A and B are shown apart, each in its own frame.
Chain A
Amino acid sequence: MNGTTKGQEVLRAEHVSKSFGQVTALRDINLTLRKGEVLGLLGDNGAGKSTLIKILTGFHQPTSGQLYFEGKPVTLRSVSQGRALGIEVVFQDLALINEVNVYRNMFLRREPVFGGFLGILNDRKMREQAIEQLNRMGVRIPSVDVPVAKLSGGQRQAIAVARSVYQQAKVLLLDEPTAAMGVKESALILDVIQRLKQEGEVGVIIIAHNYAQIFDVCDRVNLIEGGKITFDKPTAETSIQELTDIVVKEYRNARRDLTA
């Protein structure tokens, strides 16, 4: 069924569903991610993409179903637990602290410290490593000493991605990584993803509703509609046109049902 058998399975979701009270966000999600693979998870607004990401990272817990990490069943109770396994995420809201400077944001929750339980921040080390990482990724910002509130949307996004990439992740989830960016800025992020793909160490899931932008970088695309995955093909066997047709058809059907 899959044209690209790139490596071992690293993350799998089986029959995952999620309800918030009366509202069912996800119905029956089956999804597999392999090492070194870039999976595009596409869907319209409100299709359940962000809920799924939050389940895969441990932010939410599924109502039913099972997650497998490297073949073993896991129950993620918190984001920290997911991160300890190597599941990194760049949320749509970026999870940056506006009031805090760039390098401290990049090391948030993983700060190098001294003084044991006192936890005195090693600002010099954070600053040096942040500069090194941003330069390596080709991210240009005026200074790492300014609060992130001073940066543009694209720069903030780049910092959030750089932060996650820096953590030696096994699974990297990107929620709408190019949403706030211009063409040049999103090229920067897509370059980074391309580089990760070549290195082949990390499985990447990109969530997007503008699939034209990310189509080229993905090995495989899944389409999520109404809380279900309705389409799963390697990008080599599909096209932007086909995806567009599916989405439009779905929309027309829904309208017909409504008017009928």
Chain B
Amino acid sequence: MNDPEKSRPAATVSKPAASGRDKSAWRRAGAFILRYREASILIAGILLAIYFQWSSSAFLSKANLQNLVQYSGTTAIIAAGEVLVLVCGEVDLSVGMVYALTPFVMYFTAQAGAPWWLAVIAGLGAAGIVGLINGLITTILEVPSFVTTLGTLFLINGFTLTISGGFPVQPQAGPTFTALFGANPLAEMAWALVIAIVFQFVLKKTRWGLHTVATGGNLIGSAEVGIPVRAIKTGNFILCSILGGFAGIIDCFRIGSVDPLAGGSQIMFMAIAAAVIGGTLLTGGLGTVIGALIGSVVLGILTDGFTLLGVSAYTFDMILGAAILVTMAVNIRLALLRDRGGL
């Protein structure tokens, strides 16, 4: 009946585009990197690991791998939440302060006589409330999330310092509980992995994830279709805060102490950096939690590797900054290639 427009071949709808059959291995590898946003950062991570192992044989030792988990585990958990918020087109700057607040709420709840599991829930509940406030201010009052969460960043930091009096505390839970919630490196790694896999699944395979992508990809269009964009954004702010709080709890049990000055902007920026170099767009609509996990590990490898080599923290920050710029530039180029090459 109707001719297909232009010179496009009349492929039927049911047949996926047949491509890559007679391409060389190199071109197929290129196509793989283009298709999977996580691939470029994964390759960067592997190359870094090889380099550091070659420079210092201690890199792949058991003790150092434990360090690596500590460097990247909680960052990955926060980054998972940050990916959700970034994908729906917002940003959460306050999550590092929620990371510091949550263990205190947990500690004081336990001090008041509640069992530890209930204290954990209370802490995460407080984190969720912060997320709810972030979400409502951003969606109802229409304050840009950058400003909203900048405000709550300071607010929560001050609140944490006030309720703690500025002093660290030492939570004393049972040994199993402590090990399960992060004192054991295997447990910390398992949490980071499980959270990354669960939220990757949420983002890619569930209605919530699809609506999150839609909200970030085309806000007006999503509203026109009837997606409750405000609820989606608020929900993702809540999830991000809860994940930030959970990361705080894990680090508190690992270290055995809760410092009101822990985390903060440093860990928040690391989480955003991990998300971004992992392949998540700051402009919304596209993101990957697995990429953010790999991004956290790469940042961990950089921190850990340079520490092993005895590179100073100052140099490290310069390298980290350059790494973010390079990966972002490459990612944007790859995205353009992706759009043009029809991959």
Contact = CB atoms under 8 A, between A and B. Distances in A.
User: Is B one of A's binding partners?
Assistant: yes
A115 B285 CA distance: 25
Interface string B1-43: 1111110101111111100000000000000000000000000
Contacts of A131: 13-14
Q: How large is the interface on B (under 10, 10 to 19, 20 to 34, 35 or more residues)?
A: 35 or more
B115 interface: no
A248 interface: no
A97 B221 contact: yes
Given A100-B217, A111-B210, A121-B210, A185 B224 contact: no
B35 to A, nearest CB: 12
B1 A138 contact: yes
B79 interface: no
B2 A108 contact: no
Contact of A93 (B206, B221, B226): B221
B221 to A, nearest CB: 4
B339 interface: yes
B205 A121 contact: yes
B217 A99 contact: yes
A143 B208 contact: no
B222 A118 contact: no
B207 interface: yes
A185 B286 CA distance: 30
A86 to B, nearest CB: 13
B214 interface: yes
A138 to B, nearest CB: 5
Interface string A98-139: 111000100011010100001111010000000100110011
Given A100-B214, A182-B5, A143 B226 contact: no
A67 interface: no
B205 A108 contact: no
Interface string A132-164: 001100111111111001101011000000000
Interface in A88-102: 89, 91, 93-100
A79 interface: yes
B2 A150 contact: no
B220 interface: yes
A143 B225 contact: no
A108 B224 contact: no
Contact of A146 (B2, B17, B208, B210): B17
A80 B225 CA distance: 8
B210 A78 contact: no
Interface string B236-270: 00000000000000000000000000000000000
Nearest to A182: B5
A60 B222 CA distance: 15
Nearest to A133: B13
A79 B222 CA distance: 11
Nearest to A91: B224
B213 interface: yes
B147 interface: no
A99 B14 CA distance: 20
B311 interface: no
Given A79-B223, A152-B5, A99 B17 contact: no
Nearest to A93: B221
25 contacts: A59-B223, A59-B224, A79-B223, A79-B224, A91-B221, A91-B224, A95-B221, A98-B218, A99-B285, A99-B286, A100-B213, A100-B214, A113-B206, A120-B205, A120-B206, A120-B207, A131-B14, A140-B2, A140-B13, A143-B16, A143-B17, A145-B17, A146-B17, A152-B5, A184-B3
3 A-B pairs with least C-beta separation:
A119-B207, A95-B221, A80-B226
Interface of A: 59, 78-80, 83, 89, 91, 93-100, 104, 108-109, 111, 113, 118-121, 123, 131, 134-135, 138-146, 149-150, 152, 154-155, 182, 184-185, 187-188
Interface of B: 1-6, 8, 10-17, 205-208, 210-211, 213-214, 217-218, 220-228, 285-286, 339, 342
